Amino acid sequence: MSAREANFDGLVGLTHNYSGLSFGNVASQNNAASVANPRAAARQGLRKMKALADLGFLQGVLPPQERPSARFLRAQGFTGTDHEMIMRAAKEAPAILAAASSASSMWVANAATVSPSADTPDGRVHFTPASLSSKLHRAIEAPTTGRVLRAVFAGDSHFAFHEPLIGAPAMGDEGAANHTRFCSDYGEAGVEFFVYGRSEFGGGVAPQRYPARQTLEASAAIARLHGLGENATVFAQQHPDVIDAGVFHNDVIAVGNRDLLFCHQNAFLNQPAVYEEIRAKLAARGAQLRVVEVPVAAVPVEDAVSSYLFNSQLLTRADGKTVLVVPQECRDNPRVSAYLDQLTASRGPIDEVLVFDLRESMRNGGGPACLRLRVVLSDAEQAAVNPQVWINDARFAQLDSWIERHYRDRLVDADLADPSLLDECRTALDELTRILALGSVYDFQLVN
């Protein structure tokens, strides 16, 4: 079956700020209370999308969510008009208001886990929105995420949607950030690789400093929901030591594409056995796993975390060559930059490195891979996607102009108490729904 991989990037929201809400995410914590620039953040992400589209990659965009979330604030007992509610929350519970105002939905690697039709028994692309139950500011995203996915991927004949897993610690699910798919070609049946941080019921080792957000039980449930058999799945545990070093998702320490795995030497527990299981199952599907393992001597874990070397995108060009998309921080780190030079000079599986300025997102702990959701689509499935979400010259110009009209160029924690921020967000999203033909994905509760 002919198929291509599409990357759908999240558009940074109007309330992009540095509230330091994500315990375990070193960048988020280190940059708490810094001054953010939402306009620059959105433009940095949009320019990455346009650059990759110009290079011939299939590139789409997913919208931000309403923030601050009035529905969430009302569920916490705040009453009155929308403006009164925000001012009361700012006075009585600023941490709750910060959670309600987070623009974290921009990191759509956490939006859902996706299995392509080549892997599923019913021949449809399966989506399970992530519950993101480990963090309050992210746990409120799933309902809108589900509506957005249905508005973008239209039609039950091609796409199947599941409900998020129950929001309990035992079923902690963080979406595609802990999921990779290996295959010979995108349209061929593959092996889906699920990485977890701990097991709720199976015991074993676990990180001691920072929480493990993904459980084995959640990964196994998603595999069952998508109809994936034992021969099509590999479950591996992330090394607890790297979680304690700030590797809160697998995509901060490993990335894969087709038959290639690019990872750190200390990414997984029992790493050689993980390689062997993937190799054996992938070989049964006609492909041979290639591994580029970065030794700790070349790139220590702390450098991998600060540079986000592995929170990169591995992309296959039309000519079959492999491109690694990394943030500017990789070039700013001498050890990582030297390793990248060695990598491309070695004439190995990775042919080219592309560097992007994503500093606004990076300061909150999200790099190129965090900003995208990967979806493999056959020709018919691609034709069924809402055409307004594809990035091209016209869509880029529309979105760039939209950002200029609606986004602030400065935002600090104190600004979250400004009720007009909600009005600005709603006005902007109302226009965006028309640009992207999203229908009624936003569930605004207007109380004035």
Find the catalytic residue in 158, 249, 264, 406.
Answer: 249
Active site residue 16: no
Active site residue 174: yes
Dist CA 380 CA 167 (whole Å): 34
Dist CA 392 CA 333 (whole Å): 33
CA distances from 307 to 99, 120, 326, 332 (A): 26, 36, 9, 8
Partners of residue 215 on adjacent β-strands: 198
Neighbour-count burial of 401, counting CB atoms closer than 10 A to its CB (0-12 exposed, 13-18 middle, 19+ buried): exposed
Dist CA 406 CA 428 (whole Å): 6
For 180, the enclosing helix (H) or strand (E) is strand 179-182
What order do you get walking across the sheet with 290-294 strand by strand? Answer: 254-257, 260-264, 290-294
Sole residue written with tokens 């190129």: 368
Sole residue written with tokens 């993101």: 132
Dist CA 156 CA 323 (whole Å): 33
- Neighbouring CB atoms inside 10 A of 42's CB total 27
Find the catalytic residue in 183, 263, 330, 370.
Answer: 370
Partners of residue 322 on adjacent β-strands: 316
Q: Is 29 left (phi over 0), alpha (psi -120 to 50) or beta?
A: alpha
Active site residue 66: no
Find the catalytic residue in 5, 66, 141, 174.
Answer: 174
Residues serving a catalytic function are 174, 249, 370
